[in-house]
Amino acid sequence: MHKLVFFLFAALTAYHSPAQDKQPEKKQINIVYGGTFTKDEKLYPGAAIFRKDGQQVQFEHQGADLWCDIAIFYQKENKLKAIGNIRLQQGDSLQMTSGKIDYNGNVKLAKAWDNVVLTNSSMTLTTDTLRLDRERQEAFYQDHGTVVDSSNTLTSKIGRYFMPLKKLQFLDSVNINNPDYIIDSKQLDYYTTSKNVYMYGPSTITGEAYKLYCERGFYDTKIESGYGIKNTRIDYNNRIIQGDSLFFDKKSEFASATNNITITDTINKGIIRAHYAEIHKAKDSVFATKRAVSITLVEKDSLYMHGDTLMITGKPDERILRTFRNAKFYKKDLSGKCDSIHFDQKTGITQLIKAPIIWNGKNQMTGDSIHLLTNLKTEKLDSLKVINNAFIIALDTVSNTGYNQAKGKDLFGQFIDNELKIIDLVKNTEVIYYMYNDKKEPIGINKSICSAIRLTMDKNDIEDIYLNTNADGDIFPEKDLPDNSRKLKGFIWRGEERILTMEDIFDEDDDNLVLPTIRGIENPIDIDAEEEERSKNQGDPIDQPEKNRPSTTPSKTKTALTKAKQEP
C-alpha cells in the first residue's frame, strides 16, 4: 500500500514539475561597480542607492552598459533610476547620454531626459526627453528633437528612430536643412544610409532654382531628385508645373509630369494643359502631348492652341511655340486649323502651315500659307496674311443659300482692336457677291474680275466690297445666273468644320483618351525597407504610415517608378 502511494506521489510530482510551469526568465540588471551602498526608505522605499565620489557606478543589462553618478536600484522590480552624467552604451553601435534615466529591465525600456544625446555611426539625435525601447530597437521623442548626419540637419516635434533600418520617422513641424535645399513637411521618413526622404503629408522642398510641393512623394537628397504623386507642384525655371504625378531631377535639369497637367509661364502668363509633359531647363523648353493645349491672353480674350504635340522653346521674351499634327486654335470670333502652327514671340508672327483654314466670324479663309501678326507693343492682333491661292467664302446671310466669295493671289487683312476690319485681295482677283437694296430685296449677283478687291467688315460680316477701276464684270439677275456659275474655281465650303467653341479644338481621339494609372498612388513605395522586414508578417508595424504602405518588393518598385516617370 505504501509503495502504491509513493508511486502515485512521484508520478504527480513529475507531471507538475517546475520545468512544465517555468516562465521565461527575466534577465536581471547586474551591478558591475556599485561604489558605496546606502538606503533611503523615505524617498526610495525598497531601493539600494549606489554612488562613489570621483568615480561613476556601472550597471549591465543584456548587452548594454550604463554609467552614472548616482544609481537608485530596485532589484526586486528589476528597475533602475540613474542620475548625473549618464552614458548608456549598447555594443559598438549605439550610445546615449543624458542627465537622468529610468530603466525597466523587464521590458528593456529606458526613459531618458535632461539634455539627451543619442549617437551611432551615422547620426546624432538630441532632445530633451527620449524613450529607448531596446527590445524593439526603437527610440522615440515627442517634444522636439534634432538629428544631424553627414549631410543634413533634421528637426521635428515628434520623431521615432528604427535602429535596424537606420530609419527616422518624423511628425509635426518637420524641417531638413542642407546648404543646397530646405525641406518642410508635416510627416516624412528619412534613411540615414541612403539619405532618401519619403513624404506622407504636405511637404515643400526649396532648392536653389526650384521649389517642389507634394502631399505624397519621394526625394533623394544626395542628388536632389524625386517625385510627387498627390497634389504635386513644382516651381521651376519661371514655370509652375502641376499634375497627378511629377518627377524632378536637378542634375539633368529635367522635370516631367503625367495626367491632369497645368504648366503656367509666370513671366508671360501663358498656360499649357496636357496629360504628359517634359520640361528641359538647359534648353528652356517644354514638350507636351495627350490632349495638349496652349492658352494665352490676347486683349482680355483667351487664345487656345491644340495639337497632338506642343513644344515651347526659348528665353522668356523670345518664346517659340510649335504645335504639331492636327493643329487647331480658337478665340472668340477667330479660329482655324492646319497641320502645324509656329508662333514666334520675338516677331509676333503666327504661321499656319500646310492646308491652313481660318474662320473670322462666319467668313472662311484658305490659302497655301496663313500668317497672323501681333503688335509687339500692344500685344493685340495687328494683321493677317494669306499667301498664294487666297480664297474667302461667307454664306449669304439674307438668302442663306448662296455664298459670297472673293479670291486672289494673296490676301492682307487689318485688325483694329482685335477685330478684322479691312481685307485686301491682290493679283488676279475675282468676286461673286449677292446684292440687296435697303429693304433687303435682291438686286442681283455681282460677278467680276479685277486686279484688286477691298472688303470692309463690321462685326465680322462683309459690309462693303470695293473693286478697282479696271474691274470687268456684271450684275446678273439670279434667274440668269445658273448654279454652276455661282461658284469661283477652287470653291470648297467647309462650314461643318468650323470651330465654334474651345472644346471643338479636340477631336474624337482626344475625347476618348484613356489615362494610365499612376503606380503607388496611395503612397510612395519604400524602396529602402529591407526585404526580410517585409516578409516577417508579425502584425501591424508600430508606425501608422508603414501600416498603410503596399508590400511591393524593391525590384518591383523600381519598375513601377520607371513606368510612372516614362509612361505618358
Q: Quick one: three-class SS letters along 362-392?
A: CEEEECCEEEEEECCCCCCEEEEEEEEEEEE
Report the CATH number at residue 481. Answer: 2.60.450
Report the CATH number at residue 110. Answer: 2.60.450.10
**What pLDDT is recorded for position 208?**
87
- The answer to the question of residue 19 being in a domain is no
**What pLDDT is recorded for position 397?**
83
**What pLDDT is recorded for position 362?**
87
pTM of the entire structure?
A: 0.77
Name every residue whose Cβ is closer than 8 Å to that of residue 398 and which is 6 or more positions away in sequence: 434, 436, 440, 442
**What pLDDT is recorded for position 10?**
37
Residue where a domain terminates, one of 486, 510, 537: 486
Name every residue whose Cβ is closer than 8 Å to that of residue 6 and which is 6 or more positions away in sequence: none
How many distinct structural domains can be found in the chain?
2
Residue where a domain terminates, one of 133, 150, 169: 133
C-alpha dihedral over 34, 38, 43, 48, to 10 degrees?
Answer: 40
Gap between the Cα atoms of 277 and 365, Å rounded: 33
- The answer to the question of residue 20 being in a domain is no
Range of the domain at 479: 356-486
- The answer to the question of residue 333 being in a domain is no
Positions in the chain short of pLDDT 70: 1-26, 298-299, 469, 517-568
Q: What are the grid coordinates assigned to 488, written together?
A: 469661283
- The answer to the question of residue 439 being in a domain is yes
Nearest to 188 by CA among 179, 176, 196, 198: 198
Q: What are the grid coordinates assigned to 315, written together?
A: 528665353
Gap between the Cα atoms of 197 and 241, Å rounded: 21
- The answer to the question of residue 447 being in a domain is yes
**What pLDDT is recorded for position 299?**
65
- The answer to the question of residue 425 being in a domain is yes
**What pLDDT is recorded for position 457?**
85
**What pLDDT is recorded for position 470?**
76
- Positive or negative: CA dihedral 523, 527, 533, 535: positive
- The answer to the question of residue 370 being in a domain is yes
The length of the chain in residues reads 568
**What pLDDT is recorded for position 198?**
93
Name every residue whose Cβ is closer than 8 Å to that of residue 496 and which is 6 or more positions away in sequence: none
- Strands, E, within 231-356: which ranges? 232-236, 239-243, 245-249, 254-265, 271-280, 285-298, 301-313, 320-324, 327-331, 334-338, 340-344, 349-353
Q: Which residues pair with 293 in a beta bridge?
A: 273, 306
**What pLDDT is recorded for position 514?**
80
Gap between the Cα atoms of 289 and 327, Å rounded: 12
Q: What are the grid coordinates assigned to 185, written together?
A: 513637411
Q: What are the grid coordinates assigned to 188, written together?
A: 516624412
Residue where a domain terminates, one of 469, 486, 503: 486
**What pLDDT is recorded for position 483?**
86
- The answer to the question of residue 452 being in a domain is yes
- State the pairing for strand pair 340-344/320-324: antiparallel
Q: Grid coordinates 440668269 are at which residue? A: 480
Burial of 509 (0-12, 13-18, 19+ CB in 10 A): exposed
